[in-house]
Structure 1
Amino acid sequence: MTAPLRLALLQYPVERPESIAAFGAKLDRWLAEAKTGGADLAVLPEYACVELGAGLTGSNIADEAGELAAMVEAAPEILAEMRAAARRAGLWLLPGTLPVRDEDGLIRNRAPLIDPQGRVATQDKHAMTRFERERWGVSAGATPGVFRTPWGLIGISVCYDSEFPKHVRAQVEAGAWLILAPSCTDSMHGFNRVRVCAAARAVENQCFVAITPTVGIAPWSAALDENRGYAAVFGPIDRGFPEDGVLARGALDMPQWVFADLDPARIETVRREGAVFNYRDWPSRPFDAPPVKEPA
C-alpha cells in the first residue's frame, strides 16, 4: 500500500528579486518552513519565478517583451537554482513553471517536478490562455503525462489545463490519484474558473486536485502585475470526505503555506464503495451527435 503524502501548497508572494541567487534564497526560506511543517512535496504556483523578469532586465517599468526574453535566456540557470533548492531542503518540489525555448525554437510554459536529489521530469502546459498565445507567443507543449513518485502516480495540469476535463481524465486513466494544478490568475474571475473546475475534476474522477496561486500586487511586472486567489485541495464529495469536497484551503491573497495529508487509499476506497461511481461511469466513448428535437 502506498504511504500517505503530506502536501504543502504555497500562496506565493510576488516580489522583485534582483538576481537568480536572491530568488534561490527566497526559495530556501519558504522551503525551510515547508520542511518544518512536515511536507513531503512542496508546490509553488505557475510562473512564480517570472517575478525575476524585472530584476533581470533592470527596468523599473513593466516590459513584456524584455522580461520574457530575459526569463527565456536565463531559464537553464533558474532551473539549476530550483534543483539546488530541492536538494538543500530535501524535498520533492514543483517550483511552479518557467518559460523555456524548446528544441523546435518555440517558447513553452514548463513545469519541472524535482526530487530531493535534484533529478527532474517535466510537464508542459498544453492549453494556452489568450495572454500567453497572443501577447507572449507561448506555444502548446507536450500532451499530458504522469509522474512516478514514492506516493504513486501524480499528474500536473497547469492552471488553464485543469479547465479541460479530458486533459485531467487522460492523467487519471494513466493512474494518477492526485492532480497538481499550479496557477497564476490576475482576477477573481480567473481564480474562480480554476477553483470551480478543479473541484469538478475531483468529483468526476474521484481523485484529489490541488491548486495554488501567486498572490500580491506587482506593478513593475508585465505578467505578474496583479495576483489573486488561495490554495486549496479538493476531493470527491462522498462518504468519508467533507460535504463540500474541500479538504484544505488558505486565506484569500495571503502569503502562506497550506498543508494537507492525502492518502491514496481513500481514493481506492471511494471508487470501490462510494455512493456514486463517477470514475467508473465516465463514458467509454464520446456520445453521438445529439439530435435536435422540437415539441410536437
Structure 2
Amino acid sequence: MQAKIKKVELRNLQIEDYKELKKSMIKSYPELEDSYWKEEDIEKILSMFPDGQLVILADKKVVGAAFSLIVDEVLVDKNPDYAKITGNFTFSTHNPKGEILYGIDVFIHPDYRGLRLGRRLYDARKELCEKLNLKAIVFAGRIPNYNKHAEELTPKKYIEKVKRKELHDPVLSFQLSNDFHVMRIMKNYLPGDSDSKEFAVLLEWNNIYYDESPQLINTQKSIIRIGLIQWQMRPLINLDALFEQAEFFIDAISGYKSDFALFPELFIAPLMADYNHLSEPDAIRELAKYADPIRKKFQELAISYNINIISGSMPYLENGTLYNVGFLCKRDGTSEMYYKIHITPNEVLHWGMKGGSQIKTFDTDCGKIGIMICYDVEFPEQSRIMADEGMNILFVPFLTDNQSGYIRVKHCAQARAIENECYVAIAGCVGNLPKVNNMDIQYAQSAVFTPSDFAFPSTGIKAETTPNTEMTLIVDVDLNLLKELHEHGSARILKDRRTDLYEIRKINS
C-alpha cells in the first residue's frame, strides 16, 4: 500500500539520519543479507564526499537515498566489481579530481515507490555532475527480474527485451527511462544477488555540458548575440560611401556587444550603377573588383569593433569564372571565404554565375557556424551536412525581389532550424535601386528562427524585423538550449534518423 505524504524534502545526508536510513535499507533489500550500511561506513563517506550523498525525506522520515563517489575513468574501464569500485568499502577509490560520478547505491523504501521519488534523486545526481564538471554518471544496476527468465534468455537477450519494453525490470526499466544507456554486462558483480543471478548492467549518463579543459579566460560563451542588418538599397557614389554606411551599422551593433554582424546578399549592388551602360554580365564582373578591398576593410572593422562580420555576398572572379561569395571576417583578424553553392536561374541567365564546390562549416570563438547564401537554404541536404559537422547557428544572407521569393527563403530557413536543431539567422536588402539593371526592387523581413520545442518560442521565431524597412535586429540565442534539445527534446530529429536506411554525405571532402 502506497504511503500518503504531506511533505517531501531532498537534501544531503547527515549522520543523524543513520537510524532512519538503516530501517529503509533493510526494507528495500529484504533478499540481501546485511543489506544496510554500517554507521562507520556512512561517517567515512560523509567525511570524504558529503555533496555526493543524498536522501529523500517524507514527513521527516528517510525513505530513500543515493550514494556516490568520484572515480577515475580508467577505473570504470577496468570493469570492476562492487568491492573494487568501493575499495572494499574503504572508499579509497574516491578521487576529487576524477572524471566520473559513480553511483554506489540508490534505493526507495517499498512503501514509497511509485511516487517518482527515485527520479528526484537521479535528477539531483545529474545536477551535481554538471555542477562539478564531471564527464558522466556511471553505475552498475541490478536486473532483479532476470531470475524469472534466466533459463530461456541470456543477460544480453533479457536486456534487449527490456529496452524494447517486451519485458519489465523494476531497476533497468527505470534507468533507461532516465536517459541512461547500457555500456556492458558485468558478471559476479554483487555476490548474493540471486534475483539478478549476480549479473549487473553498467549504465552511463553523459554530461553534455562537460568541459574537458575549462579556461578562466577566452571561454566559449553559451549566450551568443547576433546583429542583423536589414540594408536599404540606395545610390552610393563610391566604395568609401559604402564603407561609411557599413561601418555605421557595425558600430551600432557592436555597441550592444554583439558577437556577429550579418549583412545581406549582394548588398554592394548600388556600386554597379557606374557600369549600367555595360551589358549585365560585364557590369557584374566590374562589381567583382570590389570584393578584395571589401574583405580587407571588413577585416579591419572586425578587429576595431571586436565583432565577427559575415559580409553578406558579392560577385567574385576566380580564374575567369564568376562566383557569388562572402567573407567571414573574425575579430581575431583572420578571414575565410564561403561560396554560394546553388545558383538561381536568374543568376545564370543574366550574369553567367557558377556555383561553388565546397560545403564547409566555420570555427569561431562562439562555436561552429554555417553560412549559406539565399537559394542554398532551399536545399536541405547542404545544411544537414553542416549539422553533422556540429553547426549551432546557420547564417543566411539573402536577396529577394518580391514577397513570394522571400516566403520561400523564410519557410525553408524555418524548416532548416527545426530539422537540424539549430538557430537560423537571415538578413536581406529592402527598397528600390534605380539605374542598376536586374536589381530594381527588393523585399525582406530579416529574422532569427529557432527549433520547435518547449524551450523555444512556440512560433519558432525568436525575433523578426519590420518588413521592407531599413533597421537592425539584435537577438540573443542560447547554445545550451540546443544541447538540451539534442539529448532530451520531445522530438530528437538528429538522433532519430534512420541512418541504417539512408545517409547524406559530401562527395568531395
Fold shared per TM-score above 0.5: yes
Q: 1:86 to 1:62 in 2, by over 3 A?
A: farther
Instruction: Report the equivalent of 1:230.
Output: 445
Report the secondary structure of 1:279's partner residue.
coil
Q: 1:155 to 1:111 in 2, by over 3 A?
A: same
Structure 1 position 30 matched with structure 2 position 253: no
The structure 2 residue matched to 1:78, chosen from 289, 294, 303, is: 294
Report the secondary structure of 2:495's partner residue.
helix
Structure 1 position 65 matched with structure 2 position 281: yes
Instruction: Report the equivalent of 2:270.
Output: 51
Instruction: Report the equivalent of 1:292.
Output: none
Higher relative contact order (CA 8 A, sep 6+): 1
How far has the Cα of 1:35 moved from its partner? 1.4
The structure 2 residue matched to 1:123, chosen from 311, 334, 338, is: 338
How far has the Cα of 1:66 moved from its partner? 4.1
Q: Following the alignment from structure 2 to structure 1, what is the Cα–Cα distance between the partners of residues 458 and 322?
A: 42
- 1:193-232 maps to which residues of 2 (within 5 A)? 193-232=408-447
Instruction: Report the equivalent of 2:457.
Output: 242
Instruction: Report the equivalent of 2:239.
Output: 20
**Any gaps of 5 or more consecutive residues in structure 2?**
1-208, 210-219, 504-509
Structure 1 position 95 matched with structure 2 position 302: no
Instruction: Report the equivalent of 2:229.
Output: 10
Name the amino acid aligned to 1:224: M
Name the amino acid aligned to 1:88: S
Name the amino acid aligned to 1:13: Q
CA deviation vs aligned residue, 1:76-110 (integer Å, no higher than 9, x gap): 2232233233233231100111111113x211111
Q: 1:25 to 1:88 in 2, by over 3 A?
A: farther
CA deviation vs aligned residue, 1:95-149 (integer Å, no higher than 9, x gap): 111111113x211111210012432111100000011111111101032100101
Structure 1 position 113 matched with structure 2 position 328: yes
Q: 1:286 to 1:135 in 2, by over 3 A?
A: farther
How far has the Cα of 1:286 moved from its partner? 6.0
CA deviation vs aligned residue, 1:195-234 (integer Å, no higher than 9, x gap): 0000001111111111111111112222431110111111
CA deviation vs aligned residue, 1:165-188 (integer Å, no higher than 9, x gap): 101001010110111011000010
Q: 1:125 to 1:171 in 2, by over 3 A?
A: same
Name the amino acid aligned to 1:137: G
Report the secondary structure of 2:358's partner residue.
coil
- 1:119-198 maps to which residues of 2 (within 5 A)? 119-198=334-413
Structure 1 position 40 matched with structure 2 position 256: no
**Any gaps of 5 or more consecutive residues in structure 1?**
289-296
Moved more, 70-79 or 195-204: 70-79
TM-align CA RMSD: 1.8
Would the aligned equivalents of 1:91 and 1:115 in 2 still touch at CA under 8 Å?
yes
Moved more, 76-85 or 22-31: 76-85
- 1:281-292 maps to which residues of 2 (within 5 A)? 281-284=496-499
Q: Following the alignment from structure 1 to structure 2, what is the Cα–Cα distance between the partners of residues 95 and 46?
A: 8
TM-score of the superposition, structure 2-length normalised? Answer: 0.54
Report the secondary structure of 1:47's partner residue.
coil
Name the amino acid aligned to 1:38: K
Report the secondary structure of 1:109's partner residue.
strand
Q: 1:165 to 1:107 in 2, by over 3 A?
A: same
Report how many aligned residue pairs link the two structures.
Answer: 284
Would the aligned equivalents of 1:67 and 1:222 in 2 still touch at CA under 8 Å?
no
Q: Following the alignment from structure 1 to structure 2, what is the Cα–Cα distance between the partners of residues 273 and 116?
A: 34
Name the amino acid aligned to 1:111: G
CA deviation vs aligned residue, 1:264-286 (integer Å, no higher than 9, x gap): 11111011111111121234266
Report the secondary structure of 1:93's partner residue.
strand
How far has the Cα of 1:38 moved from its partner? 2.2
Name the amino acid aligned to 1:272: E
Q: 1:154 to 1:269 in 2, by over 3 A?
A: same
Larger radius of gyration: 2
Name the amino acid aligned to 1:211: I
Instruction: Report the equivalent of 1:273.
Output: 488
